[in-house]
Structure 1
Amino acid sequence: MSQNKLSLQNALLTLEQLQQTPSREDDITEEQEDNLRQLGCHLIQTAGILLKLPQVAMATAQILFQRFFYMASLRKFAVRDISMGSIFLAAKVEECPCRVTDLINVIDHLCKKFKRKATEPLVPFSHDYYHLKDAVVIAEMQILKKLAFNVHVQLPYAIMVNYLKVLELTDHPTIPQRAWGFLNDGLRTSIYICYQPPTIACGVIWLAAREAGVPLPTSPAWWEVLDSDLEDIENIAGHIKSLYFKALPIPDLPLTIEQVEPYIKRDSNNGSHATPPSKGTRVSRFS
């Protein structure tokens, strides 16, 4: 992720960063890392809904979370803490700040619920309360440090709406809603740190139109008119679709550092996920 100059575009990862992450160097398997990334994004999205944050804040938080763990190892930083820090920072970036007290109460409730524990309310000003409060502040500073204070995030939602207008699909009964949902689901993958928003917008429209059985213009090719590459579009669609073929085993996944070591020592060599999407790497070609 280049930090040499300020850009209005999203910071994207290099192929080397995608293939050899800090977590992989710390002996966390690709499958384990993928599960933990999805867990963090799921925690952020669920917490954001309970906190009544706008979707743009939840999306920004998930992208910051994903970027952070391409700069740091899941063996050294807890999913729970970085999720909290990402929400707290993203809420500021998107100008919808949330109270620390509300944030840690929601996160504490969700963590207990995920682990199937009794969900007693967090006692105000208790040891656990201050521990989580400190964790939020530390996590926010770690995210800023690792990302070199580059927390700019451009989202594809508005771009997608404009592209639907260009393609005359805004009034279709299913395509706009499906495409919007694919944008949200795609936050749990690596597409937002591999492709710029216009390409992602094309990817979700292509996937939604394909599922609806609606042909898109090919003369001229609509993706060329929108300055995108068909291979990139298919790759994005493939990664989004791959989410729906495996249930996330949330109760078994570690939320804190103390829970990480037993998890990474398990024998999880029962298959592997596809590699992160990079240019020239096709995940799934739909015929």
Structure 2
Amino acid sequence: MSVDLYPLASFEQVENTPSRLDGISAELEEDLRAYGCKLIAEAGVLLNQKQVAVATAQILFHRFWFVTSMKQFGIGDIGMGALYLASKLQECPVRMRDLINVYDILIQRTAHKRKILVSRDPHPPELKYVPMSYFGNTFYDLKDALVVSEMQILKRLGFNVNVVLPYGTLVNYLRLLGLTARDDVCRQAWGYLNDTLQTPVYALYAVPTIISAAILLTTRHCDIALPSKPPHCWWTLFDAEWEDIWSVSGYIMRLYRPRTLEEQLRPMGMISKKDVRKWLEENETS
């Protein structure tokens, strides 16, 4: 039943993702997934889009990479297509032109930020956004990429775009544990759930397990003791396994790990499939 409610990747898909079979390391794929989700979140803010649509787009984005390689499609194009599709699914549609404009801004801003990190200029220049010409190729190229991306997401996921979001269930779990009186606990647990959207856990574990991981990290950070000795373990109330909760917690905490300059620059320069293919060619010859 859980597979019907939460479409999950198979063990074979997890062990050998299409991107990994094409030579992209697990660490790089993880960074590209996270950066693609950041772009989706930033686009959602600029478009004043509802969080349910943004979260749905990020979950669909992660599912897509279990059936398709990043060598075939860019994270920018698929992120744009996922947000466009999710806005329809959640009945808060956006104009195609607005979405294209926003992603054009984000791509230019990413390139500008990357130059600043490379130059290490203590007084970097401000971004001078150059609007695209609606009679040039840029707009129509992005429009074609948006249409193709939405179609490919539907096709490769077999139109299985059902998404169960965790926010309402989180409130119920916190109420059951008697934690809703603490604003800091609710706020931090909610934040952890938003962080998980940058990881592929929604394609790997059921929602109750992911929520339990957010509660675990929150209560440990806030120094709140919950029953944890068998047979009275709080997570058993939610049919979650300790090993799975611990694994999801690891995915979340890896987002906060210190990154070298190279690790920060690498996903910024691989937004398109052309950039990914160029990187693969360079690493094959090196």
Q: TM-score, normalised by structure 1?
A: 0.87
> Cα offset for 1:211?
0.6
2-side partners of 1:258 and 1:234: how far apart?
37
Distance 1:167 1:148, change over 3 A: same
**Amino acid corresponding to residue 253 of structure 1 in structure 2:** G
Within the candidate set 250, 255, 264, 2:280 is matched to 264
Whether the 8 Å CA contact 1:32–1:264 is kept in 2: the answer is no
Match of 1:278 in 2: none
- 2:235 counterpart (220, 223, 240): 223
Q: Contact conserved, 1:44 with 1:62, CA < 8 A, in 2?
A: yes
1:266 deviation in Å? Answer: 5.1
1:68 aligned partner: 64
Shift of 1:265: 4.3
- Tell me, yes or no, if structure 1 residue 18 matches structure 2 residue 14: yes
User: What is the 5 A alignment of 1:81-120?
Assistant: 81-116=77-112, 118-120=128-130
Alignment of 1:187-206 (within 5 A): 187-206=197-216
In 1, the alpha carbon distance for the partners of 2:62 and 2:280 equals 19
User: Take 2:56 and 2:233, find their aligned partners in 1: how far apart are those partners?
Assistant: 31
| The structure with more helix, counted as a fraction of residues | 2
* Cα 1:6–1:227 shift into 2, 3 Å: closer
Shift of residue 74, structure 1, vs aligned partner: 0.2
Q: Which residue of 2 aligns with 1:239?
A: 251
Whether the 8 Å contact between 2:196 and 2:252 is mirrored in structure 1 is yes
Aligned residues: 264
Contact 1:36 1:253 in 2 (8 A): no
The SS at the match of 1:249 is helix
Where do 5+ consecutive residues of structure 1 fail to align? 269-287
Task: Give how far 1:6 is off.
Answer: 11
Gaps of 5+ in 2: 113-126
CA shift digits 1:85-135 (9 cap, x unpaired): 000000011111000000000000000100117421222243111111111
Q: For 1:119-268, what aligned pairs fall within 5 Å after superposition?
A: 119-218=129-228, 220-247=232-259, 249-250=264-265, 252-265=268-281
Separation in 2 of the partners of 1:94 and 1:258?
32
Q: Is the 8 A contact 1:9 1:154 kept in 2?
A: yes
Deviation for aligned residue 1:163: 0.3
Distance in 1, matches of 2:22 and 2:73, equals 12
Cα gap change, 1:46 to 1:159, in 2 (>3 Å)? same
RMSD: 2.0
Q: Which amino acid aligns with 1:85?
A: G
